Amino acid sequence: MTPSSITVAFIGLGTMGFPMAGHLSQQGYQVVVYNRTDATAKKWLAKYQGKQAFTPAEAASQADVILSCVGNDQDLQQVYLGEQGIIGAAKPGSILVDHTTASAEIASELDSAAKAHQLEFLDAPVSGGEAGAVNGCLTVMVGGEQSTLSKVAAVFDCYAKAVNLIGPVGYGQRCKMVNQLCITGILQGLSEALKLAEATKLDINKVVEVLQHGAAGSWQLSNRASSMTANEFDFGFAIDWMRKDLAICFDEADKLGVALPLAKQVDNEYAKLQQRGYSRADTSVLIKQFDDEQR
């Protein structure tokens, strides 16, 4: 089948969903969008080709593939299982894909509901941030069946550079938890390293140039070190959202008896930064924990 013969519904046009749905439209898919805030859907339609639905059910009823990227577990329960939700309206045989970062439990709940209605489901959280969504180079971590993933691989290719099946439903979300914990630790180490570099009068750009190709190299070092030292923290993924993701990690770790001391330390620092008015700053604002006035 060609993209023009496939209708894709996209539920949630936030920081990530807006450009992801845009890539689908640009690649020739018939796209139906739903967003809780009507003005955002109108803004999307002004930029891309597609149709607007006014409930998740209306969007789902028209689609072969239904994608979602919303805020949290509660949002997912509403858009999938609510009175005007996806599950009750989707055509049998449709494929449901959730790109939200949420719990493994909600993924299993949605999978069970989907199977009861002859639908297929994948939990498929993404990594790469706003820039990755805009540039169509996200990483997708998938939980579900390979046979289902194969059916939507071309859809994922519109906005992803890497797509990997991790395991059964729920394993995509668990892999995303690991991803967020890695980012948390790297940002703490980078924050401390940059403060030392600053104190010793090192040229940060030269430091990045030297280190990024060695053992200390990371995406955060290459993309955030200079902006962190320039006091710039407006790069999309807010600490409000990171704390939401870390809460999911802590809940999963508690169930498994796994200690996460560094992540809990960083989460505490993020809580202090929220109190200082940095809720919507991106996660690299962690370096401001070392501000002189806060010591």
Point out the residues that are catalytic. Answer: 176
Is the separation of the CB atoms in 124 and 172 below 8 Å?
yes
Strand 138-143 to 126-127 pairing: antiparallel
Identify the CA nearest to 237 among candidates 294, 176, 290, 194. Answer: 176
Token digits of residue 156: 């994922």
For 108: left if phi > 0, alpha if psi spans -120 to 50, otherwise beta; the answer is alpha
Rounded distance between C-alpha atoms, residue 76 and residue 226, angstroms? 37
The Cα angle at residue 219 between residues 263 and 224, in degrees rounded to 5 = 85
For residues 290 and 295, what is the distance between their CA atoms, to the nearest angstrom? 7
- Per-residue buried b or exposed e for 4-30, using 16+ beta carbons within 10 Å of the residue's own CB: eebbbbbbbbbbbbbbbbbbbbbbebb
- Per-residue DSSP letter, 272: H
The helix or strand, by DSSP H or E, that contains position 183, with its residue range, turns out to be: helix 171-199
Looking at residue 198, its amino acid is: E
Q: Which residues pair with 126 in a beta bridge?
A: 140
